[in-house]
Structures are given as structure tokens and as C-alpha cells.
Structure 1
Amino acid sequence: MTPSVSDTLVLVTGGTGFVGSHCILQLLQRGYRVRTTVRSLEKKEKVLAMLRQGGLASFDRLSFAEADLTHDRNWNTALQDCTYVLHVASPIFLELPRHEDEMIRPAVDGTLRVLRAARQAGVKRVVMTSNFGAVGYSHRDHNTPITETSWTDPHEKGLSAYNQSKVLAERAAWDFMAHEGGDLELAVINPMGIFGPALGPELSSGFGLLQKVLDGSMKRLPDIRMGVVDVRDVADLHLRAMTHPAANGERFLALAGGTMSLLEISQFLRRKLPDVTQRASTRPLPTWLLRMAALFNTQARAILPLVGIYRNASNAKAKQLLGWQPRPNEEALLATAQSLVHYGLLRPETGAR
């Protein structure tokens, strides 16, 4: 007999994060009981503040567990009585590690730590947050869209340590399921660029990029095209993959559809929010010039691997199999810019008309 939603306990790892907080919000709004992991219980108030920002006033169905992806302690306690797990958390680095293994090992080991504990606790299904970097960076046929059958080669030239960590962690998860998973089920979500409304002032990397475009910090715009998805739709897709019978053993690309260049994004937001985007650049940066700058500029060197990447991917699987209907790219981007304004990171220029 399937338990009712109100009797179902879901663990969300990484409750303080952009995606994790929206997953918690939607689960509580739909009547689930939720437990979330935080690295320190001192972060509890931060999560509650984010949920209040999302419109919640009651937290009697929410509990907290202190657990860290780099340690075994408390995971068995965190997973006790849980039916589902949304494994959203990734190891956090305040600055780039000196060696890529310092980012990759914790991501792989943390994923396996959660899966082992989930299997031991009798969890029905884990939904894991991976990313597009695990899917599309080795796709060579530009005449066909990228689908969930594609895999990024972790040794792809120019692949960031972060994307390496994602592809290797996801590979490790599927390998674990094949050899040690037992009755545990797994589904994986692979989002592209996640935008949309923030529930708190600590903003994700996508917000940082958009802020640089809109406040004029990025004087000229490199040839970067982005697939976009709203964080609310990413959370919704996690919940659909959590319960839908057909989602077991599947991965799902999460994107609204199509791509937008930084130039197109800048032009769109200048039209929609003219009072706070006067400084936004609409000047393209030739790739040859970026390559020259990358020889001696670390910021240019960090951007260069993103230039010219083919990101024409398909969201058909999530839509057809799970009935997922994402918001348009423009709605997600506008909500992001509005969050930048809300948290004081994008202001009208003094004296602007």
C-alpha cells in the first residue's frame, strides 16, 4: 500500500542551496514531510528565512539533520524513515582547489556515501542532481540535438574541474546501482544554466555571470550561448522524477528549450528593465581577442572554455515521459534580474533618466 503524501518523508541534501531550497519549498507546499541536511545546524535559520521568502509560514513538517558529504557521520540518522532522497548537494569550495582531485573526490565519494546510506535505510528512490556538463561537452555531431544518451568524456580538453566532478560522480552513481544498488532506485536530473527567482541573498554562479553582464563589469560579451532553465522547473522535475514509475533508471535534461547568447540576453533585459540595465554591454567580444587576453588574464582564461560550446539539447524526454512543462527562457532570466534588483546587486545608475 502506497503511503499518502502527508505520511511520506523526503530527505533533501543541501537545503541552503539555490536548487535545494526550491525543492524543499515545493515539497512542503505539496504536503510532504521534509528533512534537509545542512553542514551545521547553525544554517537552520538561513533555510527558514529562504522558505519565508518563498511564502511559507508554517514549518511543522520540516526537520533538520547535520551531515557533511565528506564524512560518514549522521547519514544513517538523516535517512531514517525516508521514502525518497533528493540528492542536490555538492561539496562547497570557497576558492578553486589547487588540484582537480580536491573537487572530484569529494563529489564522487559524497554521492556514493548518500547512495550507500539510502540503500541501507530502505529508501525507495534517490533523485540525483547532476548537470549538462555530464552530458553534452563531448557531443561532436552539430546536426543532431544533444539527448540523455550522450556522455561527456571526463578527460575532454578544457573541461572544468567542476564539470569533471559532475560527470564522474554521476558515472559512479550508475555504476553503484548496477553492482550494489539492490532494491534502491535512481533517477538523475541534468540541468543546463539554472536561473529564476532567488530565495536569499547568497546567489549562485549563474547570477554572478548575469550581474557582470548587466552592471557593465563585462565590457564586451564573448560568444557564449546558454541553455536556460528556471529553478522552479528544476525543482518540479525533481519531484516528478521522484514519484513517476517511468523515471526509475533514467536521466533527464532540464532546459526550457533553445539557447540564448549573452548578447541576446543583454538586449532582452535592457528592453525589459531599462532603469537598472543602462550599463549592460551590447558589444560582442571577438573570440580571437579573448584568446589573446587569456594568455595573461585569468578571468579571460576561465571564460574561454565556455566559448563556442554546442548546447543545442532536447528536453523532449522530460516533457513526454513525465509531463514536464518548463517556463520560457525569458521568464527565467527576467526573474533572475529581478532578484538581483531585490537584493541590491543591480541598481539604477545615479542621474539616469
Structure 2
Amino acid sequence: MILVTGATGLVGSHLLLHLLQNGEDVRALYKTQENVQKTKALFQWKNQSDLFEKINWIQGCITEIPSLEIAFENIDYVYHCATVISFNPDDEEQLRKVNIEGTANIVNFCLAKNVKKLCYVSSIAALGDLQEHENIITEETEWNPEKPHSDYGITKYGAEMEVWRGQEEGLKTVIINPGIILGPGFWKNGSSEIFSRIKKGLKYYTKGATGFTTVNDVVKIMISLMKSDIEKERFTIVSEIIPFEKLSRTIAKAFGKKEPSVYLNPRMTSIAWRLDWIISKLFFQKRKLSRATAKAMHTKSNFDNSKIKNALNFKFESIDNYISEIKKTY
């Protein structure tokens, strides 16, 4: 049997669907019934409600040992998708608790229960830092602890260290480092929120760029890696390097909305994150814009995806075409 953590998130839900379509027996970890309904909505949209009923749901959390004792019974393979995604400095404790400690728990149970293989969903935020003579980030780019990183990136890197520890102790592992993942559903959370913002009429854009990929490509790669003999490797999962301005305009055009027209320069976003910090302290509100996010909005990052393409002979789907497909589901 296969265990999926983070089964009610974007990647986990689509992974469940693909696994069940392939005839696998799946157990899924969830925290609340409300979250399960989001996954159920995806299956209903795909006309696969019958497959949804085959999921063996276990309520629990990767930071709760008793629930993991139940979840890991008779498990052969584990897809570890559970994570906290936040660039708010106030969430540092939760990020460390879930992303690092939670992953350590998963690795320990995999070892104790003789799990055959673990696939961990990391992030491009955990990849290394370019030196002056380098211009593209690969899986071999070294992490420089002296350079500034977001708490999210630090905790995903820390989680990878736990996975490598498991590998050294006898557990077969693979790690994927996806870029920003685009996919249908979950419109109010994570990367999918960009569709909701643009549909409401997003006026602003910045000139940064980063790697994007589709949730379909992510889960296809995960399943292929788990079925292969590949282990002790990490793979950058990036379909294309897309400027934020271009992505915003492409989505706006697909939804028939007015394209963003106001350029937010670095000075403006620098002022904005400071004002947001002041407001959050005065009115006890959750941060909407952190310093790390403001910096990322103007950073142009380049990632090499040749390793995964060569390992699996994989061809990524077009982001533009996928956005058109997503629009039909909104």
C-alpha cells in the first residue's frame, strides 16, 4: 500500500487521483474533514467520485507520532507532500515544526517500518546559491548558509537533510524540487491564488522571473521516479522560466480580464513590505508581504531541468496551453 502525506493539498490531491487511476491501493493522511472536501471536489470535477471512495483516509499529522503509528501500518511506499508554505517571518516556528521535524518523523517511520522507497516533495527554494561566475541553478549548485534565504527555503533544505539521513541509514529515497506549481482547484491557497487575484483584476506587475511547472507534470514525474531504480538523487522540476509580468498577462488574457498595467519597482515594494510590517504589529494582522517576498518579486532566477528530462526522457507540457485548460475549470 502507498501512503500520501499532504493528501489534501494541490500536489497530494492530484497525486491521489493519478495513483488510483493506475490501480494502486492508497492511504491518505488528513487533518480536517474540510480539507478532505477540497480533494473530493477535484475527484468530482474529474468525474472520478468512485475512485475517491477507494481512498483509505487516516486523520492525523506528520508531527503527531500516534497518528503516524496507524498511518504506517502495512505501507510499502511513501510520497511525502505535506508542508507549510509561508514567507511570513512570524511563521518560522511552524515552518520548522512541520517541514523539518515532521519530515524527520516520516523518515524515522519509513526506516522503522521497512518502507521500500520514499519520494519527498521539496522546492526550488532549497536549491543552492549561484556564485559570481555561474548563471544557472542546477541540482549540484551549493547551498551557501551565509547568503540570505527565506525561512521557508531554510526549512525545506533542512527537511532534505533529514531525507539524506534516511538514505544513509538504508532507506531508498528520491527528492524533487519543483518550481511554482500551477494547477486547478485550491483557488484560495498557495500558487493557485494567482488565478483568483488576476480574475478579480490585478493591476500591478513586477519584472522578476522564476521557474514554473504544472501539477500534472509533477505527479507524473513522482510516480515514474518511484517506479524506477533511481535513488539518492534530487531533480529540479521546472517546465519554463517565465517572467512574472508575462505570466500575469497570459492568465489575464485567458480569463478575459484587463492585463496588469502598473509597474511596481523595487523601491515601491521595499516601502510596501515595511508598511505591511508596521500595520501587522499595530493591528495584530497576518503579514501580507514579507521582505523575502518583495525581493523575490524582482529576482530573475534560472534553473536547469536537463537532469530529469534525461533521466526519464521526459517532455514538459506547455504552460500557456495548461493555463487555457485551467481556465475551463475555474
Fold-level match, TM-score > 0.5? yes
Which residue number corresponds to residue 77 of structure 2? Answer: 84
Work out the CA distance in 2 between the residues paired with 1:18 and 1:99. Answer: 21
Deviations 1:130-174 (A, max 9, x none): 0000004x22347542111124445532x2222221111112221
Which residue number corresponds to residue 65 of structure 1? Answer: 58
Choose from 11, 21, 26 the match for 2:3: 11
C-alpha displacement at 1:240, in angstroms? Answer: 1.0
Q: Say if 1:273 and 1:102 are closer, same or farther in 2 by CA, change over 3 A.
A: closer
Note the residue ranges of structure 2 that are not aligned, 5 or more in a row.
278-287
Choose from 223, 248, 255 the match for 1:273: 255
What's the C-alpha RMSD, in Å, of the aligned pairs? 2.5
Which residue number corresponds to residue 140 of structure 2? Answer: 149
- Whether the aligned pair in 2 keeps the contact of 1:148 and 1:253 (CA below 8 Å) is yes
Which residue number corresponds to residue 240 of structure 1? Answer: 224
Q: Percent identity?
A: 23
Q: Say if 1:169 and 1:154 are closer, same or farther in 2 by CA, change over 3 A.
A: farther
- Does structure 1 residue 304 correspond to structure 2 residue 297? no
- In structure 1, the residue corresponding to 2:120 is in which secondary structure? strand
Q: How does 1:1-353 map to 2 (within 5 A)?
A: 9-40=1-32, 43-59=35-51, 61-91=54-84, 96=88, 98=90, 100-136=92-128, 138-141=129-132, 143-153=134-144, 156-157=147-148, 159-178=149-168, 181-182=169-170, 184-198=171-185, 201=186, 203-217=188-202, 219-245=203-229, 247-257=230-240, 259-274=241-256, 277-278=257-258, 280-298=259-277, 299=288, 301-302=290-291, 303-339=293-329, 342=330
Deviations 1:259-300 (A, max 9, x none): 2222212332344332xx12x313322223333444424455
- Whether the aligned pair in 2 keeps the contact of 1:254 and 1:315 (CA below 8 Å) is yes
Work out the CA distance in 2 between the residues paired with 1:290 and 1:147. Answer: 29
1:215 maps to amino acid: K
Q: Say if 1:156 and 1:215 are closer, same or farther in 2 by CA, change over 3 A.
A: farther
Work out the CA distance in 1 between the residues paired with 2:189 and 2:314. Answer: 24
Q: Say if 1:317 and 1:92 are closer, same or farther in 2 by CA, change over 3 A.
A: closer
C-alpha displacement at 1:24, in angstroms? Answer: 0.3
C-alpha displacement at 1:317, in angstroms? Answer: 1.0
- Whether the aligned pair in 2 keeps the contact of 1:244 and 1:322 (CA below 8 Å) is no
1:208 maps to amino acid: E
1:76 maps to amino acid: E
Work out the CA distance in 1 between the residues paired with 2:206 and 2:158. Answer: 29
Q: Give the structure-1-normalised TM-score.
A: 0.81
Q: Say if 1:142 and 1:268 are closer, same or farther in 2 by CA, change over 3 A.
A: farther
C-alpha displacement at 1:305, in angstroms? Answer: 2.1
Deviations 1:186-240 (A, max 9, x none): 1001000100222xx45432122343345334x3212221311001111111101
- Whether the aligned pair in 2 keeps the contact of 1:196 and 1:230 (CA below 8 Å) is yes
1:211 maps to amino acid: S
- In structure 1, the residue corresponding to 2:263 is in which secondary structure? coil
- In structure 2, the residue corresponding to 1:263 is in which secondary structure? helix
2:190 maps to amino acid: S
Work out the CA distance in 2 between the residues paired with 1:281 and 1:92. Answer: 26
Q: Say if 1:154 and 1:15 are closer, same or farther in 2 by CA, change over 3 A.
A: farther
Deviations 1:90-113 (A, max 9, x none): 1478x9563623321331111011
Q: Give the structure-2-normalised TM-score.
A: 0.86
Work out the CA distance in 2 between the residues paired with 1:50 and 1:177. Answer: 34
Work out the CA distance in 1 between the residues paired with 2:83 and 2:70. Answer: 20
Work out the CA distance in 1 between the residues paired with 2:243 and 2:180. Answer: 12
Which residue number corresponds to residue 345 of structure 1? Answer: none
C-alpha displacement at 1:338, in angstroms? Answer: 4.4
- Whether the aligned pair in 2 keeps the contact of 1:154 and 1:168 (CA below 8 Å) is no
- In structure 1, the residue corresponding to 2:50 is in which secondary structure? coil
